[in-house]
Structure 1
Amino acid sequence: MFRILHLADLHLGWKPAFMPPDRAVERQRRRDRLLARAVDYALDPTNGVRLVLIAGDLFETHRPDTALVAEVVGQLRRLESGGVPVVTVPGNHDEITYHDSVYRTHGSSWPGVLVQNPLPDHVVTLAIGDTPVHIYSLAYTGGVTPAGVPLRDFPRRDEPGLHVAVFHGTLGDWGGDRCLALDRDALGRAGYDYVALGHIHQAQEETLGRTRVAYAGAAEGKGFDDPGTRAWTLVEVEPGRGVVGLRRVPVDVQVVDTVTVDAGRFASAEELRAYLEGVAPPDAILRVRLEGIPAFSVDPDALQVELGSRFFYVEVDDATEPVTREQLAAWATEPTILGLFVRRLQEEIEGAVDARQRRIAERALRLGIRALLREGSGR
C-alpha cells in the first residue's frame, strides 16, 4: 500500500486584515510554513506518502512575494530530491491566466509536474513502485478554458494503473467568473479512481459511480468563517485494487474558533472571564460570542483587552440582553404575565436552600424574561 497526500488551498502569502499589524505579520509568517510542514510529513517514510497533489491556490495571489516563491520552490525540490513526485495545479487565486503569473514566470523551472494545459487532458503518467499513476487535469485559463457551463469532457486512457484527476473547481453548476464547474454525471462516467479537488475550503467527499471524489479543504484557514480543517488528506492506494481508503490526519496548526457562551450562567464578570480563559489553547485565534441575560454589566471592550493577553488574538461579540435590578423591581410590580413570572422566580431565588438551586432559579428568571419579551406575551 502507498499513500497520496492531497493538498489544496494553502493560500500562502495571505495576511489577515482584521488583526493589528504586528499580529497579522506573525500570523502570515506562521501560515507560510504550512507547505514546509506538509513536505516534512510527506518525506517521513513512516507515513508512506509516495505522491503529492496540490489542487490549486497554493498561493493567495498570482504574483506572490519573490522570497515566498523561492521558499516554495525550495520545498518542492525537497520532495523531488526525496523521491516523492509532486503535481501542482494553478487555482483561481494564483491563476495562470496573467502574463506575470508565478506559473508563467517560473514555469520552465517549476519542480515536479506543473499543469499548464487549459483543457482537460492526460498530463503525465508517473511510476509509483510497480503502479502506473495516470494524472489528468487542467489549469483554468481565462478566454481559453470553457466558462459559463460545467465541463463535461473528461478524457481517460484505456491503460492499466491508477487514474487520478486533479481539478480546482466546483461540482455542479457554474458559480460565476473564474470558477471552474465540473459536471457530476460526466465526471462519474469518466471512470477515474480518484478525483482530487480544491476550491471549497471544507473537507468533503462523495462517490460518483465507482469514483471517489474529495475536497482536501484548507488545512489552515483564514478566519472565523474559514477556520480550516486542521488535517492532511491522505488517499490510501493498494496496487491492484486502487483507492481503498481516505484518511484525515490531524496537523498542528493555530486554532481558529468561535465560542458561543451564555453569560447568564455566571454570577459575575470575573467568573465569566475566568471561564473564557480556559475555552481554547493560549495560541488560539478566538471569537467569543456572548449571549443570554447576565446579572451583571458586560463590557466587551474591557473583556477583549483582558483576554488579549491570554490568546494570540481575540474578538468579543456582545449579544447579551442585560437586565438591571431596577428593571426587575419595576417589572415585579406590574399586573402582567411578565410581572407574575418575575415575582414567582424572585420567591424561588429567595427561598433557595443552596447556591446551586439559587443559580438555577436566577438563570430561569433571565431565560424566561428573554422568552416573554421576544414573544410579546409578557404584557
Structure 2
Amino acid sequence: MSNSNEKPRSLYDKRVSQARIVRRVVFFCVLGLLIVGTILGISSYYYLKNALGPIDEESPEEIQVTIPIGSTANQIGTILEEEGLVRNGTLFRYYVRYKNESGFQAGEYNLSTSMTLDELISELKEGRVLEEPELVFTIPEGRWLEDVAVMIANSTGHAVEDIQAVLSDREYVEALIDQYPMLTEEILNESIRHPLEGYVFPAQYEFMVEDPSIKDIIEAMLNRTQTVVDELSSEIAESGYTIHEILTLASIIEREAKTSEDRYKISGVLHDRLESDMPLQVDPTVAYAIGEHRYMTSLTDLKIDSPYNTYRYKGIPVGPIANPGKDSIQAAVRPERTGALFFYARVNGEVIYSETYEEHNRVHQQYRQEWIDAESQGELEEEQENE
C-alpha cells in the first residue's frame, strides 16, 4: 500500500521539477530578449541622436555646397554626405520624408559641420540661385510627350527628332530605371507608346547654361516628378496601386478636369469604378489610343483595339496618357467619393456627376450638341493651341 502512494508522489515531484525548469528557461529567455531589446533600443537611440546631430560641434568647418536645380531629397542627401555634412545621405532622405519636408531651393550654400539635420534642412529651404538663368521655358500640365518634345525643341536648339530619339532610347531608359526609384520595368512594356510618358513633370524650368543637353533637360523633369512621388510615397503605398498605375490615373484626371475640385471628384469616380469592376470608359484614353487630339469620339473610335482604350478593356490602362501636374497626382491618391459612378464634362469646363447610367445618359443627350457645335466652329483646336 505504501509503495503505491510513493509512486504517484514520485511522478508528481518529477512533474513539479520539470515545470520549474520550464519556468526558469522561459524566464531567462524573456530576460534575454528584454536585455537584447533594451540594448538595441539604446543603441538605436544613440545612433539616431548621433546621426541627426552635427558632424563636428567642437571644431566646425564651413563648407560651400552647390545644390543643382531640380535635385531630389535623395540627391541632396548624397551631396551632403559627400561633402561631409551628414553621416548618412539615405537617412537624410528618410528623415525628410518623415518630417514631410519639401521646397528645397537650388543655389550656393555655406553650410557648417556644426549644423544639425534640422538646421541643414531649414537652410536648404532658404537658398536662392545666385545667377540669372540662361534658359527658361514652361511645360503645361496634361500634354502628351510628343507635344513636350516639340515645346523643348521650340525653346532650345535641339531638333524634335533628336529629343524623341533620346526619349525612346531603350538603353538610356533602362539606365534611368537604375537612377530613379519611381521608374520600374513597367515602363518597358512593349504596348506602351512612350516609356517616359507621364513621368516628365509639367512646370517652369530654368537652366544656368544656354544650351543644356537633352538628357539634362529630361532628367531635370524626372527629378521634379520623383520629388512629388517621394512626398506622396506613403499614400501611394497605402493605395494598393503601383506608382505607374497612380501616374496613369493622374494623367486621365489631368486630361478630364480643369479645376482642382473636379480632379478629386473625378478621381473618386475612377476609383469607385475600378473597385466595382466597371470599365473606366474615359474618352481621353481613346484619343490617345488613336493618336489624335480629339474631344469627341465616335462609336468606331470606341472599338479600337488598344490597351489604352478604357471602353474596350477594364482596369487601368497600360500606361499614362499625358504628363500630370502635382494636383492631379495628389488627387489620384486622395479620391473624393461622392457616390457618383459617372461624370460628364461640358465645353465650358463644368463637370456634371451622376449616380446612375440613366441620369448620365440624360446629361449626355442634353449637352452633346455643345461639343458638336464647338468642334464644327474650330473652337476646340484653338483651345488646344492656347492651353
Larger radius of gyration: 2
Q: Which has the higher strand share?
A: 1
Question: Please, what TM-score do these two structures have when normalized by structure 2?
Answer: 0.21
Q: Which has the higher helix share?
A: 2
